[in-house]
Amino acid sequence: MDTSGCVLTSLFVAAVLGPVLAVIAPEIVGETMLGIDLGTTFSVAAVCHRGHVEVVPVFGQNTVPSVVFMNSTTTLIGSSAAALRTHFPKNTIFDAKRLIGRNYSTDELIQEEQESLPFKVFDSGNGSVLLGVPGIAEGVTPQRVGTLVLSQLKAAAEAAQPWRQFFGFRYKSVTISVPVAFDNAQRSATVKAGEAAGFRMVRILEEPIAAAISFGLHHGTRERTVLVFDMGGGTLDVALLRLELRTRTFLIMGSSGDPHLGGEDFDRALAAHFTETHDAVHSAIGAGGDVMKARLVKAVEMAKQRLATTPDHTFSLPVGKEGTDKLQLSLDRGTLKEVCSSLLERAMNPVYDVLMEALMEPDDVDDVVMVGGSSRLVAVREMLGEFFGDKVLNYETDPDLAIAVGSAMSFGC
C-alpha cells in the first residue's frame, strides 16, 4: 500500500488547518501565551505554547530599548529611538516606567526624577504626569510610552507566526510583569497601556514571581524560600518568596530595592575612572563634550559586559570629531570591583533589609535567583555567593530574558 500520498495529504492539512484552528478554535491546538517584561531600560516578549517557550526577536534582537523618540512628524520606538538619544535628548523619552501611574502633586520621587531627565516633567492639571516633548503640544504621558513599546512587541510576536497572522491571528491577552513595589495606580496605568496597545485582557504578575517560574522553582517537591535578586540597567529589586506547595504558587514575604542602582551606574563610575586616570581620555572629553562622553560610556559598558566571560579586556575608544582616531584602554575584573566598590556595597543593602524584615538568616534561604542584565557581573555573583555560603545561585536562564519567559509560562502553559 502506497502511504506517501496519505502522508503528504496529512502534512498539507496540518499546515493549512493548524493556523486556521489556532485562530478560530485555540482550545483545540492549545493557546499560545504571551508574556512581556516591560522594563525600565529594556523590554522583552516571550511566547509559550504547550510548555515550549521562545523569546520574540525584534529586528534580530531579543531585547528592545524602552525608548521612544517623538517630534511633530515622527515616532520611533526601541533601537531606532535609542540611537537618537545623544543628538535629540529632549525628544527621546526613556525611563518612563519610573513615572507611570505616579501623581505629580503628591509623589516625592517625581521631583527627584525630573532633575536627571533631559525632557520636562510637569503636572497635567489633575495630578497625573505629562512629559514635555518639543513638537508635541499636548505632551506625552508615561502610559503612552508604555503603549508604544508594548505595541511594537505585540506586532513582533504576531509577525513571528506568519501563517497564523495570515489567517487573522492577533494576541488578545498578555501577561505583563511589574515590580512588587508598584501600587494600584501604577498597576492600573500598566493595564491601560496594554489595553491601548490592542490587548483585550491584561494580566499583571510580579517580576520576582516571574523570575522564579522561569527557573522552574514552582515545580519543587517541598515548600521553599526563594530570594530573587533583580539588577537591571537602572534599578535593583530584591524580593523574598515562599513556595506554597499545595497551590504551586509563590507568596511574597517581603521586598526591598534601590530605584537608582543598576548597570548604568557602573558604566558612569567606570567612565569617571578612565576620565580621571587617563590624561588622553580627559583631554578628549574636554574637546568632544557630550558626544565624547556618550562614546566613553558606551565603550566601558561593552568592556564591562565582556568581563562576564573573560578576566580582562582591551578596547578602543573612538576620539576626535569623526571618531576615526582610537585610544587603547584596558579593564579587568579587579579594577571594576575596586572602582565600583561603593555600588556593590549598596547592592547588598536591600538583601539585608528583606531578610531582616522577614526575621530570617541567609541559611533560611533555599534558592537564590539572579536576573537582570547586571547580575552577569562576576563581582555581583561573587558577593552574593560569599554571603549565602553554599547556596546554589540560579542564573542559567539568560538574566535579560528570564522575567519575560516566566511571564509567558505563568498562566497554564
Alpha helices in 160-278 (DSSP H): 162-166, 184-196, 207-214, 263-277
Q: What are phi and psi of 115, to 5 degrees?
A: -70, -25
Alpha helices in 258-377 (DSSP H): 263-277, 279-306, 333-339, 341-357
With cell 512628524, the residue in question is: 73
Amino acid at 269: A
Helix (H, G, I), strand (E, B) or coil at 145: helix
Cβ pair 366, 358 in contact under 8 A: no
Amino acid at 77: I
Strand partners, 202: 174
> Would you name the residues annotated as active-site residues?
37, 97, 207, 230
Grid coordinates belonging to 241? 518568596
The two most distant CA atoms of the chain are separated, in Å, by: 83
Residues 233, 129, 89, 75, CA torsion sign: positive
